[in-house]
Chain A
Amino acid sequence: MAEKRTKIDIIGDMLMSVIDKGGHIKPTHLMYKSNLSHRQMKVYLEELLQREFVKRTKNKDRDYVTITEKGHDFANKLREIKEFERVFGF
């Protein structure tokens, strides 16, 4: 059985989902790619916006979530941590 994701794991998954889509993603797609419920999506998206890891943008009247420089830096840090944990066998 897979371990329950921590808050940081979910934030990491969300940021990676945005990055995988070229830095912009529709909120609904973000929800599906990050495997979140609608309620969770609202809570964690708010967290990402507060931390300025992402920002809301509009393109042709459609809402998007766009990753910021701060979000990229945090995503890089999470990748480093993941690699460290893998190598040291945590």
Chain B
Amino acid sequence: MVVAVPSWFFGEDVLIDAISIFVLALIAYFNIKYYKIKKNKKSLNLTVAFILLAISFTLNIFINSGVHYNIMQMSTLGYGKLALEDIGSNSSIVFITYFLYRAVTLIGLCFFYSIYEKQSKSNIFLLSFLIISLLYFSNSSYVMFHLGYFVILMLVTLQSIRGYGVKKYPATRLLVFSLGTITISQFSLLFAALDEKIYVAGELIQLVGYVALLITFIAVLIYGRKKDQNRYYW
């Protein structure tokens, strides 16, 4: 599978992933402190989810950096469009890293999903089977991984929409926007192989989503410190 990445975007996608890592790690750090006080299992699940997703972005940076560097060593095509090498064909390190990236991402997303839906033993078995199947099929089809990513994120977003519908907190509205945007970015990346502009758009949408998530978290800190819980300024 070949994904087109314009040469002028080399490094930018790495920067976007780095920002995503920062946001996830920050929320996970605060959540660990919250868990130490309240011992809420959902808080622990969210911490684990965000740490795993931060690790997955780190692995993605490693993959992208390695591939971008290798491509820059190759001669460019006449019209300046470069392509990623077929993942897994040449380098075993890239293959293992890419496999780890997909595995860690999917496990992290499942932890995120489990915050909203209590998982029975049979559900855990089903989710594990889903992850293994996606890992197997995404080896040869990159679309399968992003499809799984998109579906799980969509379910999480729907849960947060439901939560907003019940309580209507303004900060929850912002959370819905950020999760929805990140979900849309994954949907765009499903078609990234068709055109380099789709890949760029997907990455930029992802950036917007994670910046919105950071703003959501800052809003939580600000509102949490206000004495009057009923007062909102949005």
Contact = CB atoms under 8 A, between A and B. Distances in A.
Determine if chain A interacts with chain B.
Answer: yes
Interface of A: 6, 8, 19, 76-90
Given A76-B225, A90-B115, A84 B169 contact: no
Given A77-B37, A80-B220, A86 B225 contact: no
A80 B226 CA distance: 9
Given A89-B159, A90-B42, A78 B37 contact: yes
Interface residues of B, number: 32
Given A76-B225, A83-B171, A90-B115, 8 more contacts: A80-B225, A81-B224, A83-B229, A85-B40, A86-B167, A87-B172, A87-B220, A88-B160
B38 A88 contact: no
A13 to B, nearest CB: 13
B62 interface: no
Interface string B195-234: 0000000000000000000001001110111110100000
B175 interface: yes
A87 B169 CA distance: 7
B189 to A, nearest CB: 25
A85 B172 CA distance: 10
Interface of B: 30-31, 33-34, 37-40, 42-43, 46, 115-116, 159-160, 162-163, 167, 169, 171-172, 175, 216, 219-221, 223-227, 229
Contact of A83 (B37, B116, B162, B220): B220
Contacts of B34: 80-81, 84
Contact of B220 (A6, A8, A19, A84): A84
27 contacts: A8-B39, A19-B227, A76-B224, A77-B37, A79-B225, A79-B226, A79-B229, A80-B220, A80-B221, A81-B34, A82-B229, A83-B171, A84-B31, A84-B224, A85-B42, A86-B169, A86-B171, A87-B169, A88-B46, A88-B115, A88-B163, A89-B115, A89-B159, A89-B163, A89-B172, A90-B40, A90-B42
A21 to B, nearest CB: 13
Nearest to A75: B227
Contacts of A88: 46, 115, 160, 163, 175
A6 B33 CA distance: 18
A89 B38 CA distance: 15
A2 to B, nearest CB: 16
Pick from B42, B159, B162, B220 the residue with the most CB of A within 10 Å: B220
A81 B163 CA distance: 17
Contacts of B167: 86
Contacts of B38: 6, 8, 81
A5 to B, nearest CB: 12
